Chain A
Amino acid sequence: IQLTQSPSSLSASVGDRVTITCRASQGIRSYLAWYQQKPGKAPKLLIYATSTLQSGVPSRFTGSGSGTEFTLTISSLQPEDFATYSCQHFDSYPLTFGGGTKVEIK
């Protein structure tokens, strides 16, 4: 199963609403997770099972979708949100990740 993220990068300002899309090559039910990664750091789990917020993650992050199309939305971008975001499916082995979306400061 291949995951395609779009866009691969975007520029946004603090306070902007940002949406990232992840498309699966076949249906993965609701078995999708989102991660945030900052340079030189390990990824951090943000959302799992499409829309469940991991403990401690701010509510400005939301996930939605089903089947083959999923989105991660940041409702009001904060300075600490500039990072790379990746989706991952866990519908079947092998697990795979999307190519990542780099969110940069405009």
Chain B
Amino acid sequence: EMQLLESGGGLVQPGGSLRLSCTASGFIFSSYGMSWVRQAPGRGLEWVSGVSATGGNTNYADSVRGRFTVSRDNSKNTLYLQMNTLRADDTAVYFCAKALYDFWGGRSPLEHWGQGTLVTVSS
């Protein structure tokens, strides 16, 4: 059974940093692109970042480019999101999600999602 488990969320002050992790099991992690998607309280889904299966290709939403960095460690079946210079409007539940397709570098529908981790940016 595919499982994705996010961790690392919490309360952080504006301007601070946080690193999220997503541990995967039940599929060949190194064969699939992965994405981070967030959802602010009461709002819709926002794609944040994606990474190809090898980690060699990364992409970002305009709202986080230059502040967030996505990476993965295929030896640990783990996806990361390093978030710097956090702002109040980064407050959201952050989901990691597995690409449906094992091609196109992660540009794909998102087949399986974790339960999310809450990031709150507030002083």
Contacts and interface: CB of A to CB of B under 8 A. Distances in A.
A33 B110 contact: yes
B113 A90 contact: no
The 4 closest A-B pairs by CB, nearest first: A42-B113, A33-B109, A48-B109, A93-B59
A7 B108 CA distance: 25
A50 B48 CA distance: 22
Q: Specify the main secondary structure of chain B where it touches its partner.
A: strand
Interface of B: 35, 37, 44-47, 50, 59-62, 95, 100, 104, 107-116
A58 interface: no
A36 to B, nearest CB: 12
B35 A95 contact: yes
A59 B45 CA distance: 25
Interface of A: 33, 35, 37, 41-45, 48-49, 54, 86, 88, 90-100
Contact of A45 (B61, B104, B109, B115): B109
A48 B116 CA distance: 22
Given A88-B109, A90-B109, A95 B45 contact: no
A94 B61 contact: yes
Contacts of B47: 88, 94-97
Given A42-B95, A42-B115, A45-B110, A94 B44 contact: no
B116 A42 contact: yes
B92 to A, nearest CB: 13
Contact of A94 (B62, B108, B110): B62
Given A35-B110, A95-B50, 12 more contacts: A33-B109, A35-B45, A42-B95, A42-B115, A42-B116, A43-B113, A45-B100, A88-B45, A94-B47, A94-B62, A98-B44, A100-B44
